[in-house]
Structure 1
Amino acid sequence: MTKTFYSKDHEYIHVDGDIGAVGITDFAQGQLGDVVFVELPAIGATPKKGEQAAVVESVKAASEVYSPVAGEVVEVNAELEDNPAIVNEQALGKGWFFKIKIADPTDLDGLLDEDAYQALVASLA
């Protein structure tokens, strides 16, 4: 069963077992505008929780994508290299950036659930 968690930096992680698919939230892509480039991490990279793992660039700005957990990158979404606009179209679906093998499941404890994340977004409006 997949469970989704969110960071206060507007990343999400869809967790299935010990693997998490990481991307930016719908709110984040909306703030960025049209995404024109995505720099993905290398497979085998081992970002720490809160460490920059990827970069997303839009017509407005470039922004770091932080890993919400520590672990090893086991897959990247190569489709984004040719078509970064997928992030705008399906941020929470096909627009994921990388999959990470979670090193410590307790890293998830500090993340937000859907309700808490929606409250955070509402407080920013």
Structure 2
Amino acid sequence: MSIKFSPDHEWINAADAAAAVVGITVHAQDALGDVVFVDLPAVGTTFAKGDVAGVVESVKAAADVYAPVSGEIVEVNEALRDDPSLANSDPLASGWFFKVRLSNPTELDGLLDATGYDALLQSL
């Protein structure tokens, strides 16, 4: 499975059926500027799609990180907590935020593919 995107500028990679990886998009980190702090959810917390699952703060602003799908947090990126700049330097890989066990995998169908997300960005 390829990466999917939410209209709120999160990405999700559900290649691992046990735990999908979630982070913020390149567009989101560009808009925020230098990330200086992340508030990650607690492991074991459950979220519904669209719930606030964390916060990212930069030198410019703070922004909520939304759960792109419903599920339970099974892991958080402690390296990101220690070095929030990973969200800027490598947002689609080492700058991931959390892993979630999907409670409703069909919610992935409602997210955007890369082409759809690019079209969304063009409309902003």
Shorter chain as normaliser: what TM range? over 0.9
Query: What stretches of structure 1 move > 6 A for 4+ residues in a row?
Result: none
1:3 alignment partner, SS class: coil
Aligned ranges 1:3-22 → 2 under 5 Å: 3-16=2-15, 17-22=17-22
Per the normalisation by structure 1, the TM-score is 0.95
Unaligned runs of 5+ in 2: none
- Structure 1: state its 5+ residue gaps: none
Q: Deviations over 1:21-51 (max 9, x none)?
A: 0110000000000000000000000011000
The residue number in structure 2 matching 1:78 is: 78
In structure 2, the residue matched to 1:51 is 51
- Aligned partner of 1:104 in structure 2 is 104
CA distance in 2, matches of 1:45, 1:76: 11
**Partner-residue secondary structure (3-state), 1:53:** strand
Mapping for residues 27-46 of structure 1, pairs under 5 Å: 27-46=27-46
Q: Which amino acid aligns with 1:102?
A: L
Q: Distance in 2 between matches of 1:41 and 1:82?
A: 15
Length, aligned pairs only: 123
| Cα distance between partner residues in 2 of 1:81 and 1:24 | 14
- TM-score scaled to structure 2, two decimals? 0.96
Q: Distance in 2 between matches of 1:19 and 1:104?
A: 12
Deviation at 1:88, TM superposition (A): 0.3
Identity %: 54
C-alpha displacement at 1:62, in angstroms? 0.5
- Residue 62 of structure 2 corresponds to 62
In structure 1, distance between residues paired with 2:123 and 2:92: 21
